[in-house]
Amino acid sequence: MPTAISLFTGCGGSDKGLVNAGYQVVMANDIMPYAKEVYAANLPETDFRLGGIAEITKFPPADLLAGCYPCQGYSQGGARDATRKINTLYEEFGRALRAIRPKAFIAENVPGMARSNNRHFLDSQLQNFGTAGYNVAFPKIVNGAEYGLPQERRRIFIVGIRSDLGIEYQFPNPTHGPSLKPIVTQADCLSETDRTWPHGDFYDKTFHWYYLSRDRYRGWNRPSKTVLANARHMPLHPMSPPLVKVGPDQWKFDGSADEARRLSYKEAAVLQDLGGWVFPDTASLMSKYKVIGNAVPPILFQRVVEAVPQEVSNA
């Protein structure tokens, strides 16, 4: 069985994708205690080391390194300050890459990183991984909905193969969309007949002006909007009244706001392909939403991993 090390592991979305693709995750790391609790409840065999990445000086050998270093500086939901220190965590990923020398690596991040004003950060990452001895494929922005996820989720992937292997990585083609398999919708995975209000499982504070500055609604017959890590910005459940535009960055409910609610954390998990994943009740609702919104949907990571050439996965 090929082996993988996972950094910036979160609750294990990417790792579920690795496991589904046939990898054994031999080590994982994250700084957030609740992420470790969720991970341990679902993938107990992995050696999950809790703490800051900078504290880790020794790594076991592995065929593949996966890591979705944080991205607050680029994220639409974050402060969008590209100078924040958190944006240099890719250097820690580069350090691990040099120490482990896996046959391949995969990193995932928000697409804002490819915007022209952030482009120098993306270039620094590509240079860092290139000088570590990897052939880095030109980064690709993919939409989870085109790979069978019931959610519009655009993310950038950076994949590199160790140069001495002399092979190149090709991103997988979409599997869902026009003339492909039908796009998976919210109706396909959330129950249209379930009109319950799962109190305690969803963020029920008022819809403030910032929430209503964007369209947060998608109907049953479409994938959901992006599931974010911040509970306040969680998309609307499709049983809510739609939003109509009433001005620049201003939306209002086409019906009563009392009939609207955000997705519960369990529904958000389903839309992130984490249905059935256990989220222990040891943390707040906000923490549950956070690890779910931070996750890489397993189906998407699996597709990217499966496209890694066999020379890598032949352990």
203: tokens are 């963020």
Structure tokens at 299: 């189906």
Q: Judged by CB under 6 A, does residue 31 bind ligand SAM?
A: yes
Work out which of 2, 3, 5, 9 binds ligand SAM, going by CB under 6 A: 9
Asked whether position 11 contacts ligand SAM by CB under 6 A, the answer is: yes
Task: Report 49-68 residues binding ligand SAM (CB under 6 A).
Answer: 52-53, 68
Q: Which 136-195 residues touch ligand SAM, going by CB under 6 A?
A: none
Q: Does 294 participate in binding ligand SAM (rule CB under 6 A)?
A: yes
11 is catalytic: no
Nearest distance from residue 38's CB to ligand SAM, in Å? 9
What's the min distance (Å) between Cβ of 208 and ligand SAM?
Answer: 25
Q: How far is the CB of 301 from ligand SAM (least distance, A)?
A: 7
Shortest spacing between CB 240 and ligand SAM, in angstroms: 27
Which residue number, 30 or 63, has a Cβ lying nearer to ligand SAM? 30
Applying CB under 6 A, which part among 9-17, 148-156, 243-251, 252-260 lies near ligand SAM? 9-17
What does the per-residue mask of binding to ligand SAM show for 83-122, with x meaning CB under 6 A?
------x---------------------------------
Report the interface residues with ligand SAM, using CB under 6 A.
8-14, 29-32, 35, 52-53, 68, 70, 89, 294-296
* Catalytic center residues: 71
